[in-house]
Structure 1
Amino acid sequence: MVTSAQIRAARGLLNWTVRELADRSGVHRNTITRIETEETAGGHSSATVRAALEAAGVQFIDENGEGAGVRLRKFRGLSRQLRPDEGDSEPADNGANADHSDVDYPSDDD
């Protein structure tokens, strides 16, 4: 069983607001707040929220004597973990490979 703390932690790993989790899971944000504050028992809504978080890359770790937890799954072929909504978009052009031949740099003679 997933705990309310795991749900909160999973949402934090993804940097999602309650509203974002509600949009992605189809569960009303008030229900998510109740799940996260242990005001409601597990059920269909909790399972739906868990499924949305897992689809985004969260792995729930069962109690193993050291405490339950969460982590983001590692995406193959990447040297770092990406949030699922980062996708495979082109990297931003930071100018590192730009041609600066038109720039008038001061010479050492000045």
Structure 2
Amino acid sequence: MITAAQLRAARALLGIDQKALAELSSLSLPTIQRMEASDGVVRGNVDSLMKLIGALDAAGIEVIGERATSSGGGRGVRLKEPSP
């Protein structure tokens, strides 16, 4: 799963706009816009999500899930859980 915030951060790390991500993932610009406007986890059909994750992976982005460790050695970002 990928959140809207992770998607925006991935785009920022790649230095691309929504249109470029749409082209990389073979999705429409409105689809990317809807995904980024989501609240929390990105929703979409499985095919669209697979295309998105595949395009990010091919571009060098590793999506790190909550409480998951990173298998790569590159740089990344992650939000900490808020302190109680």
TM-score normalised over the length of structure 1: 0.55
Report which structure shows greater RCO (CA 8 Å, sep ≥6).
2
Give the share of equivalent positions with the same residue, in percent: 39
CA RMSD of aligned residues (A): 2.5
Q: Distance in 2 between matches of 1:46 and 1:26?
A: 11
Q: Distance in 1 between matches of 2:31 and 2:19?
A: 11
TM-score normalised over the length of structure 2: 0.70
**Structure with greater helix percent:** 2
Gap runs ≥5 in structure 2: 76-84
Deviations 1:19-59 (A, max 9, x none): 11111111001100001111772322122111101100001
In the TM superposition, what are the counterparts of 1:66-105 in structure 2 within 5 Å?
74=74
Counterpart in the other structure of 2:15:
15
Q: Distance in 2 between matches of 1:4 and 1:21?
A: 14
Does the CA-based 8 Å contact 1:35-1:42 persist in structure 2? yes
Bigger Rg, which one: 1
The list of structure 1 runs, each at least 4 consecutive aligned residues, that deviate by more than 6 angstroms after superposition, is none
In the TM superposition, what are the counterparts of 1:43-58 in structure 2 within 5 Å?
43=45, 44-58=47-61
